[in-house]
């Protein structure tokens, strides 16, 4: 099946002012939508990181992709999935997710692989998860993803929106935010993005979440490396009752060495809370050292930057071999990514946790036919259709492309947004506490 055309559409979607240790989300998040069209007119789609860099990297492959066989091109391009320097230097500690040039190759490859799998799946009438070896689950559970945030639902000027959560910068408002998300989507697990307020405040937020939702709802907190080893251990000690069981402590301190030190000190105190990571461990090259030091017990996969869906399956198998668990990371995304995440999660063994998703944070914009995808009791059911199971709504795509053309944003810069809107002197300092 020859590929006749590769189209890349840069879009902008309204995004609320969410906070993390990286800074502040801009009023618009950027995404790129990829279309691969075969000679017989079937179109495979994918969604990936936004802005100019990722779009250009995909367009640069045009010559290699046009005329190639959709069943073989991902084999021919496999070297891209490795990334520059084999991945050892690549991390998300200092660079905002999606903005590290060292993982540009795996990110580009992942977008093409997803579009190829969608194209192939549509052409033979088989869902992507079954092309990947067969689904292990028919529905994929996701977790509620709570964020500290300022008021508003994103957008700017005449396009500025309100959201139902308002400002959430206290433990009580975080509980309110999660209550509302759980009621609307049916999530059964909760993750709090931390690294924003004094750790004592964030400890209190987790305690109040536990108090409100009870011990059967697993909790996680992720400060994206904002804490020293000592602070991480203090938080781990304070929250041992809340995070133990099916929860985890995600990227408390920076780097494999930092995570390993936290782990050692927690174990010395008899605290077995697993440490998870999508910051210290972001490539296969990080696994040997991480395993050697027992730095991370849960690896967060994400086909968007791990080099695609098949690499995520390899990762799942490797984690199982070395006694680690697998969870799934997310960044701001729309429905094409959500479905891709659900398909790869459905076909990946050893995925023991509900996956992260930012999907509830984008309520107004969507590029797929039928609008927003519905969660069933916190899970996404794999549709009985070929490929990813969703089609593009070309009117919505045109609207979001037009918006991209009218706004100045061309890459994610959470630190710059912090300085623009919250504190003109803000810098990302690690560790902060």
Q: Could you say whether residue 149 binds ligand GKR (CB under 6 A)?
A: no
CA dihedral over 237, 241, 244, 250, signed as positive or negative: negative
Instruction: Give the β-pairing of 144-147 and 139-141.
Output: unpaired
* Among ligand GKR, Mg ion, none, residue 210 binds (CB under 5-8 Å by kind): none
* Among ligand GKR, Mg ion, none, residue 413 binds (CB under 5-8 Å by kind): none
CA dihedral over 260, 263, 269, 270, signed as positive or negative: negative
Window 353-372: contact mask with ligand GKR (x via CB under 6 A): ---x-x--------------
- CA dist 327 and 301 (Å) reads 6
CA 78-50-197 angle, 5° bins: 110
Q: Helix, strand or coil for residue 364?
A: coil
What DSSP designation does 75 have? Answer: H
Q: Could you say whether residue 54 binds ligand GKR (CB under 6 A)?
A: no
Q: Could you say whether residue 108 binds ligand GKR (CB under 6 A)?
A: no
Q: Which of 225, 228, 273, 278 binds ligand GKR (CB under 6 A)?
A: 278
Reported residue count of the chain is 433
Q: Could you say whether residue 15 binds ligand GKR (CB under 6 A)?
A: no
Residues that bind Mg ion (CB under 5 A): 222, 250, 278
Q: Could you say whether residue 22 binds ligand GKR (CB under 6 A)?
A: yes
Q: Which of 1, 18, 275, 379 binds ligand GKR (CB under 6 A)?
A: 18
Q: Which of 20, 32, 74, 108 binds ligand GKR (CB under 6 A)?
A: 20
Residue 18, Cβ density class (10 Å: 0-12 exposed, 13-18 middle, ≥19 buried):
buried
Q: Which residues contact 368 (CB under 8 A, 6 or more apart)?
A: 334, 335, 336, 390, 391, 392, 393, 396
Q: How far is the CB of 319 from Mg ion (least distance, A)?
A: 16
Q: Could you say whether residue 193 binds ligand GKR (CB under 6 A)?
A: yes
Q: Which is nearer to Mg ion, 15 or 222 (CB)?
A: 222
How is the chain split among helix, strand and coil, in percent rounded to 5? Answer: 40, 20, 40
Q: Which is nearer to Mg ion, 38 or 283 (CB)?
A: 283
Is residue 31 within 8 Å of residue 334, measured between CB atoms? Answer: yes
- Which residue among 329, 333, 343, 358 is the active-site one? 329
* Among Mg ion, ligand GKR, none, residue 331 binds (CB under 5-8 Å by kind): ligand GKR
Q: How far is CA 325 from CA 248, 284, 287, in A?
A: 11, 15, 13
Q: Which is nearer to ligand GKR, 70 or 276 (CB)?
A: 276
300-359: contacts with ligand GKR (CB under 6 A): 329-332, 356, 358
421: annotated active-site residue: no
Q: How far is the CB of 30 from ligand GKR (least distance, A)?
A: 13
Is residue 267 within 8 Å of residue 275, measured between CB atoms? Answer: no
Q: Which is nearer to Mg ion, 222 or 366 (CB)?
A: 222
Q: Could you say whether residue 277 binds ligand GKR (CB under 6 A)?
A: no
- Which residue among 149, 193, 303, 358 is the active-site one? 193
Is residue 89 within 8 Å of residue 282, measured between CB atoms? Answer: no
Q: Could you say whether residue 281 binds ligand GKR (CB under 6 A)?
A: no
* Among ligand GKR, Mg ion, none, residue 202 binds (CB under 5-8 Å by kind): none
Q: Helix, strand or coil for residue 379?
A: strand
* Among ligand GKR, Mg ion, none, residue 404 binds (CB under 5-8 Å by kind): none
- CA dist 161 and 414 (Å) reads 19
Nearest CA among 159, 155, 100, 151 for reference residue 409: 155
Q: Which residues contact 88 (CB under 8 A, 6 or more apart)?
A: 283, 285, 286
Q: Which is nearer to ligand GKR, 44 or 431 (CB)?
A: 431
Q: How far is the CB of 15 from ligand GKR (least distance, A)?
A: 9
Q: Which is nearer to ligand GKR, 53 or 121 (CB)?
A: 53
For 77, other C-beta atoms within 10 Å of its C-beta total: 19
92: annotated active-site residue: no
Q: How far is CA 141 from CA 263, 352, 356, in A?
A: 28, 10, 9
Q: Could you say whether residue 114 binds ligand GKR (CB under 6 A)?
A: no
Nearest CA among 97, 149, 102, 148 for reference residue 411: 97
Is residue 260 within 8 Å of residue 281, measured between CB atoms? Answer: no
Q: How far is the CB of 328 from ligand GKR (least distance, A)?
A: 10
* Among ligand GKR, Mg ion, none, residue 311 binds (CB under 5-8 Å by kind): none
CA dihedral over 259, 264, 269, 273, signed as positive or negative: positive
Q: How far is the CB of 302 from ligand GKR (least distance, A)?
A: 8
Q: Which is nearer to ligand GKR, 109 or 305 (CB)?
A: 305
Q: How far is the CB of 125 from Mg ion (least distance, A)?
A: 36
List, by residue number, the catalytic residues: 193, 329
Binding site for ligand GKR (CB under 6 A): 18, 20, 22, 97, 193, 222, 224, 278, 329-332, 356, 358
């Amino acid at each position: 099946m020859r590929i006749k055309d590769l189209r890349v559409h840069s879009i902008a979607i309204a995004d609320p002012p969410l906070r993390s240790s990286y800074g502040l989300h801009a009023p618009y998040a950027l995404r790129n939508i990829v279309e691969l069209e075969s000679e017989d007119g079937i179109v495979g789609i994918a969604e990936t990181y936004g802005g100019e860099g990722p779009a250009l990297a995909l367009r640069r492959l045009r010559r290699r992709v046009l005329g190639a066989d959709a069943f073989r091109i991902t084999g021919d391009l496999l070297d891209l999935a490795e990334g520059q320097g084999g991945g050892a230097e690549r991390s998300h500690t200092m660079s905002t997710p999606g903005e590290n040039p060292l993982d540009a190759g795996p990110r580009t490859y992942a977008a093409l692989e997803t579009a190829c799998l969608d194209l192939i799946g549509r052409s033979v009438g088989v869902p992507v998860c079954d092309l990947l070896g067969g689904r292990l689950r028919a529905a994929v559970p996701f977790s509620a993803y709570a964020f500290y945030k300022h008021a508003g639902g994103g957008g700017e000027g005449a396009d500025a929106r309100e959201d139902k959560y308002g400002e959430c910068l206290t433990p009580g408002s975080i509980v309110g935010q999660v209550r509302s998300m759980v009621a609307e989507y049916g999530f059964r697990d909760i993750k709090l993005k931390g690294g924003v307020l004094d750790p004592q405040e964030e400890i209190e937020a987790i305690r109040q979440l536990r108090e409100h939702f009870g011990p059967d709802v697993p909790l996680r907190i992720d400060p994206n490396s904002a804490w020293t080893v000592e602070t991480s251990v203090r938080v781990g000690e304070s929250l041992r009752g809340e995070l133990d069981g099916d929860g985890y402590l995600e990227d408390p301190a920076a780097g494999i060495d930092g995570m390993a030190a936290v782990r050692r000190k927690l174990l010395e105190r008899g605290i077995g809370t697993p440490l998870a990571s999508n910051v210290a461990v972001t490539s296969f090259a990080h696994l040997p050292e991480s395993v050697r030091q027992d730095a991370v017990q849960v690896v967060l996969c994400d086909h968007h930057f791990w080099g695609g869906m098949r690499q995520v399956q390899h990762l799942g198998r490797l984690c199982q071999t070395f006694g680690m668990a697998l969870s799934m990371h997310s960044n701001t995304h729309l429905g094409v990514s959500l479905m891709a995440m659900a398909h790869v999660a459905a076909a990946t063994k050893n995925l023991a946790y509900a996956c992260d998703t930012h999907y509830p944070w984008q309520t107004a914009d969507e590029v797929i036919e039928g609008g927003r995808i519905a969660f069933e009791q916190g899970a996404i059911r794999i549709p009985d259709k070929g490929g990813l199971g969703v089609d593009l709504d070309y009117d919505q795509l045109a609207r979001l492309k037009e918006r991209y053309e009218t706004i100045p944003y061309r890459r994610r810069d959470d630190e710059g947004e912090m300085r623009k809107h919250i504190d003109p002197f803000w810098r990302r300092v690690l560790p902060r506490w």
